[in-house]
Chains A and B, each alone.
Chain A
Amino acid sequence: MASHVQAFMDTDVRAVSPETCATITHGELFLAFLTAGLSGFGGALAWIHRAVVSKREWMSEDEFASALGLCQLLPGPIVINLAIYIGARYRGATGACAAFSGLLLAPCAIAVLLAAGYSRYGQLAVAQSALAGVVPAAMGLLLAMAIRLAGRLRRRGEMALVAAAAFVGIGMLRFPVIVVVLTIAPFSLLLAHRRVS
């Protein structure tokens, strides 16, 4: 099992070739985020990770983790920030628009149509009971993604400690994200500065 886990975590270490990045079109960006948005029952983050890292290899795990860190730090919905970041990374302003609209257009339309039907038909009992099973399953997907990302940290004990501290702050002590980031990020940056230099 251990070696299996190890092999799994090592699958995405390879760097992304510049040629791949140069050939990503607006259509591909739109499509990648459209699929992620439409599949994202119970949260789209794991699906974006799948779309751009596991499936298309546009980004390495490391780059995704850093981009995610940046997007968590900035105000606004994280997955939308991530779409803007990734779109802008490969195709500038228009790429950001392509990724943004890919992620949002279809889900917004569906949500409004459902709401329109909802006000007419009242309770969506079947959807509610399905959701009771879909959301726990989505939590499993998110956990799998989190473990993949954490695989990168095992090379550095101090990075794992930083991650553990952030986990305790958010998950167990329930501090607001901004408080946790402002407390832990400076230490983490200092450690990173020491490593890089």
Chain B
Amino acid sequence: MTNNALDLGWRLMLLSLIAIGGVDPIVPDIYRFVVDARGWMTERQFADLYALARATPGPNSLLVTLIGWQVAGLLGALIATLALCGLPCLLTFAVSRVWHRFERARWRRVVEEGLAPVAVGLVFGSWYVLVHVADRTWVAGAITATSMLAVWSARLHPLLVLAAGGIAGVIGIV
């Protein structure tokens, strides 16, 4: 059990370093490792954990917590989560330290001004990719448009908007 957890943890730690732009790019690698290479779970179990991670509020990276849990229980969940987040967190912390130290430096303003539009483009781009998966029906598309307008112009609390979407899903009109 513990050996499996460490095996998984080591692999996730390596994968975390190439997870540029979030966890989504490394999901296929995780799949190949835990299903094909190690045989810790079936294709179906992996798909179920993926769906479960998405049904849970919070970061999508919860997927690795669930995979760890499936492989080696609570210890596995803990090791997998920390293995995925550990190095990126340390790196982000180090970078933000340097960043904040040079608060008034001119190069920092250049980097900020240069990165901001790239960031905005990436958010739109990943939204565009995700929306094709999320909105397979006209109703789903209408829910996206309505909820966008609802939080934007009516200033509704976003949780109400999500709840309305959930109700639409439960009564089966999506």
Bound Cα distance A73, B111 (Å): 12
B84 in the interface (beta carbon within 8 A)? yes
Task: Choose from B17, B81, B151 the contact partner of A144 (Cβ within 8 Å).
Answer: B151
Binary contact track A141-176/B, C-beta < 8 Å → 1, others 0: 111111101101100000110111111111110101
Q: Which residues of chain B are near A184, meaning CB under 8 Å?
A: 118, 121
Binary contact track B51-88/A, C-beta < 8 Å → 1, others 0: 11111111111100110011000100100010011011
Count of chain B residues with a beta carbon within 8 Å of a chain A beta carbon = 95
Q: Which residues of chain B are near A106, meaning CB under 8 Å?
A: 58
B-side interface mostly: helix
A15 in the interface (beta carbon within 8 A)? no
CB-nearest residue of chain B to A85? B96
Q: Which of B140-155 contact A (CB under 8 A)?
A: 140-141, 143-153
A-side interface mostly: helix
CB-nearest residue of chain B to A148? B152
Q: Is the CB of A111 within 8 A of B126?
A: no
Q: How far is the CB of B74 from chain A (nearest CB, A)?
A: 7
Q: Is the CB of A139 within 8 A of B144?
A: yes
Q: Is the CB of A188 within 8 A of B118?
A: yes
Binary contact track B92-125/A, C-beta < 8 Å → 1, others 0: 1101110110000010011111111111111111
Residues of B within 8 A of A (CB): 16-23, 25, 48-49, 51-62, 65-66, 69-70, 74, 77, 81, 84-85, 87-89, 91-93, 95-97, 99-100, 106, 109-131, 134-135, 140-141, 143-153, 158-159, 161-162, 164-170, 172, 174
